[in-house]
């Protein structure tokens, strides 16, 4: 009996792969194994499903006017479910964990979007943020896929940058400085854009062989990118 892809993915399977040459245009050709292409395909498929599911949960949250769970519960729920995904990523339970995580994040997103929707021009801000998020995601992904860029060296820089930005965002909850909020949102836009490119590169170069982990990284990037763009548009709109 054949097993699902997530049980078949092992680092030692690379010897079975037939190399496929990726057209890199004026850049050097990059050899991508069939295993890497499978991980990429499965990642995009699962990412699409989690985005739809998360949006549906956010829509329900908005429709029923559910309150935001608050900072503490959000952090506990996020990191707890993230830990669960990491522990179960090599089994079928990993898929359940991914949908639990993305559904929870959709639940936290709904009240935030509702708040922006009530502002003057709020609907336009939300649509603009969504469009810009999609454009950045496809642009960064296409850049890596067409050039075959190897970006493993960005890992530590991105990690440090994300930790700094996260710390500043927590601090600003108590400080309430609009300028700092705008700066942190700008940092997250750049960092999440870089993380999308980094994760895509890791997939095609074999640095990431688990599509559940890859999906979570890309989902979190898209989630934070959207919220950061929405916050920037909100701050800019309030200055008018």
Residue 101 lies in a domain: yes
- What is the CB-side half-sphere exposure of residue 63 using CA atoms within 13 A? 7
**What's the structural domain count of the chain?**
1
Q: Tell which wins on pLDDT, 199 or 23.
A: 199
Is the pLDDT assigned to residue 32 strictly greater than 80?
A: no
**How high is the pLDDT of residue 239?**
52
Residue 11 lies in a domain: no
Tens of pLDDT, residue by residue over 153-201, are 898 999 999 999 999 988 888 888 888 889 999 999 999 999 999 999 9
Q: How far is CA 147 from CA 4, 22, 25, in A?
A: 30, 8, 7
Residue 85 lies in a domain: yes
C-beta of residue 117 within 8 angstroms of C-beta of residue 123: yes
Is the pLDDT assigned to residue 73 strictly greater than 60?
A: yes
**Global pTM value:** 0.84
**How high is the pLDDT of residue 238?**
63
CA atoms of 79 and 77, how far apart (whole Å):
6
Q: How far is CA 238 from CA 71, 105, 233, in A?
A: 24, 26, 8
Strands 30-32 and 20-22, by their bridges, are antiparallel
Residue 8 lies in a domain: no
Residue 177 lies in a domain: yes
Residue reference for tokens 């998020």: 133
Tens of pLDDT, residue by residue over 77-109, are 999 999 999 999 999 999 999 999 999 999 999
**How high is the pLDDT of residue 71?**
85
Task: Print the domain residue range for 86.
Answer: 17-238
Residue 10 lies in a domain: no
CA atoms of 189 and 32, how far apart (whole Å):
29
Residue 51 lies in a domain: yes
**How high is the pLDDT of residue 97?**
96
Is the pLDDT assigned to residue 1 strictly greater than 50?
A: no
**How high is the pLDDT of residue 123?**
92
Tens of pLDDT, residue by residue over 195-234, are 999 999 999 998 999 999 999 999 999 999 999 999 999 8
User: For 119, left (φ over 0), alpha (ψ -120 to 50), or beta?
Assistant: beta
In the structure, what pLDDT confidence band is assigned to residue 237 with cuts at 50, 70 and 90? low
Token digits for 17?
């792969």
**Residue positions counted in the chain:** 240
**How high is the pLDDT of residue 62?**
92
CA atoms of 58 and 195, how far apart (whole Å):
24
Residue 6 lies in a domain: no
Average model confidence (pLDDT) across the chain? 86
**How high is the pLDDT of residue 132?**
96
């Amino acid at each position: 009996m054949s097993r699902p892809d997530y049980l078949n993915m092992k680092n030692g399977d690379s010897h079975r792969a037939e190399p496929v040459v990726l057209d890199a245009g004026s850049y050097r050709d990059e050899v991508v194994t069939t295993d890497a292409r499978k991980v990429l395909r499965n990642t995009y498929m699962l990412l699409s499903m989690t985005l739809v599911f998360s949006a549906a949960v956010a829509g329900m949250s908005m429709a029923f006017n559910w309150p935001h769970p608050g900072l503490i519960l959000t952090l506990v729920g996020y990191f707890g479910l993230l830990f669960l995904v990491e522990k179960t990523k090599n089994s079928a339970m990993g898929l359940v964990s991914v949908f639990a995580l993305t559904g929870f994040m959709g639940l936290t997103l709904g009240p935030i979007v509702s708040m922006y929707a009530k502002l003057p021009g709020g609907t336009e801000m939300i649509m603009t943020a969504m469009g810009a998020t999609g454009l950045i995601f496809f642009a960064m992904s296409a850049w890596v896929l067409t050039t075959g860029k190897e970006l493993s060296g960005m890992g530590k820089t991105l990690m440090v940058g994300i930790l700094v930005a996260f710390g500043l965002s927590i601090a600003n909850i108590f400080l309430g400085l609009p300028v700092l909020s705008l700066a942190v949102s700008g940092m997250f836009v750049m960092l999440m854009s870089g993380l999308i490119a980094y994760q895509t590169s890791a997939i095609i170069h074999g640095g990431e062989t688990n599509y559940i982990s890859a999906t979570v990284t890309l989902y979190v990037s898209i989630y934070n990118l959207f919220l950061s763009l929405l916050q920037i548009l909100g701050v800019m709109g309030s200055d008018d």
